[in-house]
Amino acid sequence: MAKSKTSVGRRGFLKGAAAGAAGLVANPAVKAQQPQPQRPAAPLPSAAQVAFETGTPAPRVDVYTTEKPGADFMVDVLKSLQFDYVFANPGSSFRGLQESFINHGQNQKPEWITCCHEEASVAMAHGYFKIEGKPILCMAHGTVGLQHASMAIYNAYADRVPLFLVLGNEQDIAFRRSDVEWTHSVQDAASMVRDYTKWDDTPVTLRHFAESAVKAYKVMMTPPMEPVVLVAGGALQEEPMPEDDRRNLTIPKLAMTAPPAGDPVALAQLAQWLVAAENPVIVAGRAARTPQGIKLLVELAETLQAPVMDRRFRMNFPSKHPLYNSGNVRNADLVLGLEVPDFWYTTHTQTPINRMGMQSQSIVKPGTKLVTITSTDLFSRSNYQDFGRYSEVDLAIAADAEATLPSLIEACKKLITPDRKRAMEERGKKLADAHQRNRDQAFEAAAYGFDASPVSTARMAAEIWNYVKNEDWSLVSDLTFVSNWPTRLWDFDKHYQFIGGHGAYGIGYGAPAAVGAALANKKHGRLSINIQCDGDLNYGPGVLWTAAHHQIPLLSIMHNNRGYHQERMFLEDMACRANRDVSKTNIGVALDTPNINYAMMAKSYGMYSAGPIENPNDLGPAIKAAIEVVKKGEPALIDLVTQPR
């Protein structure tokens, strides 16, 4: 709006104040109107006051800005650890670090990935590591951010996945500016997750931060791998670096710890037992930490012609190999568990006898030797019970399984005589026949209900395989809730083709873990496939926006069975035990009335989508079209209405 020609600015008014005030007092008309005694006139502004109002302000002494905040050095330390990305939902308690990452660190190595929830950011880091084998840096804001992230941290802890979490906090009350910062600050920030992290620290100086950051990285990457937490005080981030620190601060050298291998005496005993066994069975949990782990496990199995039962916590063994899942623990005379977190359940069954207890029964033959090799024996927490029942074994080797396999393989090879080799080869032929029978039975079972609507999970797996089998593909989702059909029908042989499950079965992990894994696959040009449970996605659908915003290519096929089906099965079991109506067990577990349109949900987040699809004949063309979108570097989602399992 244009200024009025008669308007007078404040500075102009002050410059003419003396003359104006004098004229006003001398005006006889005013005197006539006010016969009563006048108040004395207000004193006129002095020349100094006028200059203060109209002149250039003097520079302030208490300058708020700083050109070298502590966060810059903290970022240099974290960059030295070679993180690819920072996954975070923004929070004011780490604003100093975030700004330094963006400007001082140029948003490169690591690059900032915007997440809509702290739980999603940690789960994304979980999935990323299981593809790339590299940990990710996550940030969380004070008390509330860590509370949001806590379930995902526990999943990573139970899944033995390293995670580097920097938590913002303001411990010094002099720096808490409002009631918000009081409610978001805490005396011992890491205490709420200390029971399910491997190590934490709260540095009080920049030198302390540097040493603790490097130590934290080393600790989390030493098997058993676990999350770590580093608390970054707000004042440490935002206050200027002292002059002495600028000159003398250095970043400590990172020297990684070699994974602990098994005791040679114990391995010699195990090798004797394995070579002498008539029906050994190898059980793999998280045996393969790296691609090399798969090769080593194949070499051990082929050396002994022993079957491998893959518990699917990781990609451990090629699914088309004749020794894959071709053995039976019930017939074994030796069972070797490699990083199996619940080895007791491998050798026992458990059935309820009443609401007060369970009846346990061993399924192995008397005299069967039981052996474990696991790094979990080197580290455990007392509160959380993710370790399972105590296993009475004949030999427990506390070591990292992958690091131990080379020595075990060599020890076995030295003991194999020509007679034992012939016996092993005969055993291998029988196991290959059993493996083929298992494959044939799986394909026959998949044919049941193949044309049903809603679509069967077997048909879903078969249709996906038909379109991805000639691609460089990676399945970035768990298979528990789709009856493991992909591992029964597809050919898995590379380490990145399967990432396993949640760890602690905390729902809300699946969607963000898939996005994190897809981000790891992006640089390799792989086709990432996510079979996405509907209940899981509803915990944090904002991760769809993260995928679209950062152009993370990922094909998601909804396993939309319109409910929390596992819980529905539990309710049906409870109703049957009480001889009551099972028809009401949809209450509290169904996701219908109204049905959720996931295709529309994905579209609202800026993602390509198709569906809802109920006719199985429409699935193949939808997959083909979605793959074309993903190959262009974008995420896509197909809303498929499915059978419960």
Which pLDDT does position 8 carry in this prediction? Answer: 43
**Domains located in the chain, CATH noted:** 70-248 (3.40.50.970), 264-432 (3.40.50.1220), 447-560+596-640 (3.40.50.970)
State how far the Cα of 581 lies from the Cα of 560, in Å rounded to an integer.
25
Q: Which two tokens stand for residue 55?
A: 């002149």
Neighbours of 215 (CB within 10 A): 16
Neighbours of 489 (CB within 10 A): 18
Which pLDDT does position 17 carry in this prediction? Answer: 40
Regions in the chain scoring below 50 on pLDDT: 1-32
Which pLDDT does position 519 carry in this prediction? Answer: 98
Type of residue at 434: A
Which pLDDT does position 6 carry in this prediction? Answer: 42
**In a 3-state reduction of DSSP, which class is residue 630?**
helix
**In a 3-state reduction of DSSP, which class is residue 316?**
coil
Residue carrying structure tokens 């699946």: 510
Close Cβ partners of 4 (under 8 Å, ≥ 6 residues apart) = none
Residue carrying structure tokens 């080799």: 421
Q: Which two tokens stand for residue 279?
A: 């029906």
Which pLDDT does position 52 carry in this prediction? Answer: 60
Which pLDDT does position 172 carry in this prediction? Answer: 81
Residue carrying structure tokens 């390799």: 524
Which pLDDT does position 24 carry in this prediction? Answer: 38
Please calculate the CA angle 473-479-482 and round it to the nearest 5 degrees.
115
The rounded radius of gyration (Å) of the Cα atoms in the chain is 33
Q: Which two tokens stand for residue 315?
A: 């990609």
Please classify residue 166 by burial: count the beta carbons closer than 10 Å to its beta carbon, then call 0-12 exposed, 13-18 middle and 19+ buried. buried
pLDDT tens readout for residues 451-499: 999 999 999 999 999 999 999 999 999 999 999 999 999 999 999 999 9
State how far the Cα of 452 lies from the Cα of 351, in Å rounded to an integer.
33
| E strands present in 106-187 | 111-114, 137-141, 163-169
